[in-house]
Amino acid sequence: MALLREHWSLLITQLRLSSLLLACAWLFGCAAPVVDVRPDKPHHTVGGFQNLPGGLDKPEFTDFLRWQWERLLGTRLAQAFDTVAKKAVDPTLLGQTSLGWRMTWLGHASVHLQIDGLHVLIDPVLSGRASPFEGFGPQAYNPSPISLEDLPRIDLVLISHNHYDHLDARTVRVLARQPGGSPIFIVPLGVDRYLRNWGVESVYAMDWYDTRLFNLPMRNTESLTVEMIPAHHWSRRTLWDTNQTLWAGFRLQTKELHLVYTGDTGYSTIFKDMARRWAPIDWLLVPVGCYEPRWFMRAQHVNPEEAQRITQDLGARNALGVHWGVFRLCDELVEQPLTDLIKVQEQLPAGATRIQMWAIGETMQLQQPLLRASSGCSKAMLRC
Ligand SMILES: [Zn+2]
């Protein structure tokens, strides 16, 4: 009975969402035009952005309809609340500034980093829903371990793309009004328009391979390098703006540590290219959730097996699984990536880097990497 209730409530939610999006697009012209097309770049086209070769093509709209139809006719496992381990986040500890890198997973793709005194948020969606609407749309089965109001003052926010589970208007608005002034928002091309519409001024749009430097409050002469990197995904915020804004991952590097966040991605050979370009990578944030049904999801979201393959492709020394544990956006249960990843890791050779799965709210002081043989001055670093 509970299963049937969940099924119907999901269907009604989807119908309401579709009709409201339609109405929104028709009434208010929500579409955003293509921005700054550069014909010399392989991912820029006059019709929008596209993926680099190396992965599968995005499904068609008819595939989406087939998925919804099969969901309607099929049996859907009921999702229980409170199925993922959680740790309370102490706002005082989260706000501490210290030398080195400290990372806290806030659930789904939301991550807090403290880097030598700089407070960074990645894809913060902390308002309880990944939806354009306050009252309905995908709800957080496991809410954020810290409220927006209890966050420390944030210096920098990195947003990977415009999907609702990565770009949340309510979260952005609260951050932009934080005491002491708005953080700097770094977003892919075109996504800055949404933020400007929400009243955010300190927003910078970047393209793949664009780089910016940020001062580190606890280091005199060193800075944080942030580079936007390609992912194999897509974008859409309304029915009419498919691929009109860019999607991406990020690379963050100081002299002590090098971290890569792939963003949402399907499996692609681009990660082997990245390894050649940027190795060694000390920490990788890689998505492990939202992968069923495979026939529909595999061009846009990796499953645990492919996430583990990307970890190996990149030669990452450590990896954390993200994009799971909070929202049920696809057909697998919220906690399913845990069990599926264990099966994958049973087959891994000894010594292979295994993706870690933390409790929501878990914090780790990231270890210093071994001293590198080079001077630390690589082509990828803007200062050299
Ligand atoms: Zn996502």
The per-residue pLDDT for 273 is 93
Give me ligand 1 centre to Cα 379, in Å: 31
pLDDT of residue 296: 87
In terms of DSSP bridges, do strands 111-115 and 118-122 run parallel, antiparallel, or are they unpaired?
antiparallel
Instruction: Tell me which DSSP letter residue 371 carries.
Output: P
The alpha carbon of 323 and the centre of ligand 1 are apart by a number of angstroms equal to 6
- Expressed in angstroms and rounded, the spacing between residue 265 Cα and the centre of ligand 1 is 9
Looking at every residue in the chain, the average pLDDT score rounds to 86
Indicate the burial class of 297 (C-beta count within 10 angstroms; 0-12, 13-18, 19 or more).
buried
Residue-wise pLDDT tens digits, 61-108: 888 888 888 887 777 777 877 789 999 999 999 999 999 999 999 999
Mean pLDDT, rounded, for 333-349:
95
Q: Count the Cβ atoms, other than its own, within 10 Å of residue 267.
A: 21
CATH homologous superfamily, domain 2-30+57-365? Ribonuclease Z/Hydroxyacylglutathione hydrolase-like (3.60.15.10)
Q: Is the pLDDT reported for residue 368 higher than 70?
A: no
pLDDT at 378: 34
Average pLDDT over residues 243-257: 96
Q: How many helices (H) and strands (E) does the chain have?
A: 9, 16
Specify the pLDDT at position 76: 76
Q: How many CB atoms lie within 10 A of CB 30?
A: 16
CA 237 – ligand 1 centroid, Å: 12
360 has pLDDT over 90: yes
Task: Name which residue leads in pLDDT, 62 or 318.
Answer: 318
Q: Do residues 319 and 310 make contact, with C-beta atoms less than 8 angstroms apart?
A: no
Q: How far is the CA of 301 from the centre of ligand 1 (A)?
A: 8
Give the pTM. Answer: 0.86
Between 219 and 163, name the one with better pLDDT.
163
Element (H, E) at 146: none
Of all residues in the chain, the percent with pLDDT exceeding 70 is: 85
Flag whether pLDDT at 59 surpasses 50: yes
Centre of ligand 1 from the C-alpha of residue 44, in Å: 22
Count of other CB atoms within 10 angstroms of residue 127: 20
pLDDT of 18 higher than 60: no
Ion ligand 1 nearby residues (CB, 5 A): 165, 264
Distance (Å, rounded) from C-alpha 138 to C-alpha 153? 28
Q: How confident is the model at residue 27 (pLDDT cuts 50, 70, 90)?
A: very low
Q: What is the mean pLDDT of residues 131-159?
A: 89
Whole-number Å distance, alpha carbon 329 to ligand 1 midpoint, is 8
Boundaries of every domain in the chain = 2-30+57-365
